[in-house]
């Protein structure tokens, strides 16, 4: 059995490989479709057992197009899996799911609240 530190390093390596490949595929999608111009894969997270991969999608154009983008990416998942399995040295490719990443919007909302409190003198 491998130590937890080694397992963490292996998981991080797999996450990085999958992230790079998915980002490359999405970049190619963005070249031909206006809906995908501002798409970014912000992070990839593997479950501890390595069977599930959560891919966080961020849209620079705003939250309006995010549901459409995630739905389209979900429909294209079989072709993504095929491309990834053919090009990466991963024996068992995990199940993948696309999730909207709203961390940037939440950060902006919290920053606006803090600024508002500073202006009113309550902070």
Phi and psi at 16, nearest 5°, equal -65, -40
- Bridge partners of 55, per DSSP, are 44, 98
Note the helical H segments in the chain: 4-32, 66-75, 77-87, 103-120
Q: Which residue has the tokens 């389209």?
A: 72
CA angle 24, 27, 30 (to 5 degrees): 155
- pTM for the full model? 0.78
pLDDT digits (tens, 9 = 90+) for 9-42: 888 998 999 999 998 988 887 777 777 777 888 8
Contact yes or no for 55/97 (Cβ under 8 A): yes
- Classify domain 4-120 at the CATH superfamily level: K homology (KH) domain (3.30.300.20)
Q: How far is residue 43's CA from residue 106's CA, in Å, rounded to a whole number?
A: 16
Ranges of the chain whose pLDDT falls below 70: 1, 61-63, 104, 123
Which sequence spans correspond to the domains of the chain?
4-120
Q: How far is residue 48's CA from residue 2's CA, in Å, rounded to a whole number?
A: 13
């Amino acid at each position: 059995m491998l130590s937890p530190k080694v397992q963490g390093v292996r998981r991080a390596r797999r996450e990085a490989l999958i992230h790079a490949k998915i980002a490359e595929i999405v970049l190619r999608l963005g070249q031909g479709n206006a809906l995908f111009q501002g798409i970014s894969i912000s992070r990839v997270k593997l479950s501890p057992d390595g069977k599930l991969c959560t891919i966080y999608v961020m849209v620079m154009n705003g939250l309006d197009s995010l549901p459409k983008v995630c739905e389209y990416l979900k429909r294209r998942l079989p072709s993504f899996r095929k491309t990834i399995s053919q090009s990466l040295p991963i024996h068992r490719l995990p199940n993948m799911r696309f999730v909207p990443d709203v961390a940037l919007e939440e950060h902006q909302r919290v920053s606006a609240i803090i600024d508002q409190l500073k202006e009113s003198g309550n902070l």
